[in-house]
Structure 1
Amino acid sequence: MERQQWMEALLRLHHVQNFSRAAACRQLGLKVSTGYKFFRRFGESGLSWPLHDEMTPTELEQALYPSEFNPSRASQLSSERRRRPNFTPEFKRYLVEQSMQPGINVARLAREHGLNDNLLFNWRRRYLKEQDKNSPEAHVSKCPICDVW
């Protein structure tokens, strides 16, 4: 059964025939979670039952699932997602070197640069671990972990 076919039927079963949402879903052979998501969308859309007489199944679907009919809305939603930052090796090296200075509060340094404290501590740990692997006597002039990322 296509979405346009079951949307209005689900609303009628629930509002007219007083089926529970779950029972209405079972009656139509839908997953209960699908029905609950549909009713949530219906409530958030501002529509009310009964639907006005001129509303077609396509218009109902467009009102409840706008991103599928408006590609610019779908791209807007995906661009609003927060992406994980990609820090340059130079930036990582700079912060690790700064954090190694005597008297520096590593957590404060991380927060001043908009980082989670643990991220900078992890960079430092990797840097020190890599230094120990190379040789204890050798002076490392750059952060070896930065080249790996």
Structure 2
Amino acid sequence: MTYAELRVLSKRVGIKLKQQSQVLVTAESCTGGGIATAITETAGSSAWFDRSFVTYSNEAKMEMIGVKSETLLMFGAVSEQTVQEMAGGALERSKGTCSIAVSGIAGPDGGSDEKPVGTVCFAWAMGGSIIKYETVVFNGNREEVRIQACFHALDKLEDILDGD
């Protein structure tokens, strides 16, 4: 997986968002704005992209996009419950009509037996509802995990836009 492949995917997703009159917002933790970067490398992306919330800390998740402290305490930042709240909160606090939320452990440290390095949780929301959420464990170093997470997030959004 390369950054060039990510840009190609991002451009395809952008075309579909524009065709469907959708506006994307992202809530990113472990990807650090990587999804937004890929999207905004396409000229004209302001037609289908509103903003990105880079919520790396738990405090940022709570303050910027309304993740509940109880959710973080009970399930942790890297959980399907947290990314669902991130996806919903990003929509509520933006002009977006669909959202992607990502939180994970890119490494090289921070993993556990339950959540090893490479564990990334995703959620996608559209029209005020969570459409899909899942956890994936990627292999590779920090950079490889992050780029795989960005690609996966946009690839699944493309599937959602295609009606899959």
Query: Could you say which TM-score interval applies, normalised by the shorter chain?
Result: under 0.3
Task: Compare CA radii of gyration and give the structure with the larger one.
Answer: 1
Relative CO higher for 1 or 2, CA cutoff 8 Å, sep ≥ 6? 2
| Structure whose residues are more often strand by fraction | 2
Instruction: Calculate the TM-score normalised by the size of structure 1.
Output: 0.23
| Structure whose residues are more often helix by fraction | 1
Instruction: Calculate the TM-score normalised by the size of structure 2.
Output: 0.22
